[in-house]
Structure 1
């Protein structure tokens, strides 16, 4: 648990997939087009994951969720507002963790990973429900 109650224990990276991830994870994973354009890696807290799925992953049938211990990357994280031009206003979600470390995220940072699949017609609700114990709020 983080020593500061305002800081999360974990942050999460959502990645769409169509094939199994490499095992083990490589030292550095490829970055998304959005991450590359932004110059940092977009992360979410557990509370922010439903909104991130809704705004960025409605057209993807499956995603990997990478769980990253916040303490391991804290020195390179900036808490910033989401750009409303990209996804519209996201009231109630607060600032987002953005990783500024040369876009390096891989096996040394990732604690664990889950593969989630979207239920047609239900969105991501079932996947979120099944992951309740794994997501740390």
Structure 2
């Protein structure tokens, strides 16, 4: 049974990619798999409302990130909504369940509808999030 963060099905889910591992352009059929995804056995994704804390807890040292936007309907059959284990950053109250993609690590040009590069300011990710509000859809 799916439990969604906002209580409804999202329009998009997002994959955050470190600046040190930029996605190739054009996107291939399957992007390289991150160490975290490989170890976990699935592709870690976030909803739009989960992105601020994902940036805060996992991308604090990165000057920039790439955000891949994926239409949820395209991958819904391969998504499991799961509770974060909170071993890395502790409990993340209010964020609910996270979308995890179980499809043999296939995430590429057929699934990703657009991509943006965001740069962290001295104050954190707030400016990038604000500038991307028109693109960051729920």
| TM-score bucket (shorter structure) | over 0.9
CA distance in structure 1 between the aligned counterparts of 2:56 and 2:84, rounded to whole angstroms: 14
Map Cα deviations across residues 11-55 of structure 1 (whole Å, 9 max, x no partner): 000001147542211111011111010000000000000010001
Hey, what does 2:19 align to over in structure 1? 17
Hey, what does 2:4 align to over in structure 1? none
CA distance in structure 2 between the aligned counterparts of 1:128 and 1:13, rounded to whole angstroms: 15
Q: What is the CA RMSD across the aligned residues, in angstroms? A: 1.3
Aligned residues: 132
8 Å CA contact retained: 2:79, 2:102: yes
8 Å CA contact retained: 2:22, 2:66: no
Deviation at 1:78, TM superposition (A): 0.2
SS in 1 for 2:81: strand
Structure 1 gaps, min length 5: none
Deviation at 1:85, TM superposition (A): 1.1
CA distance in structure 2 between the aligned counterparts of 1:21 and 1:94, rounded to whole angstroms: 28
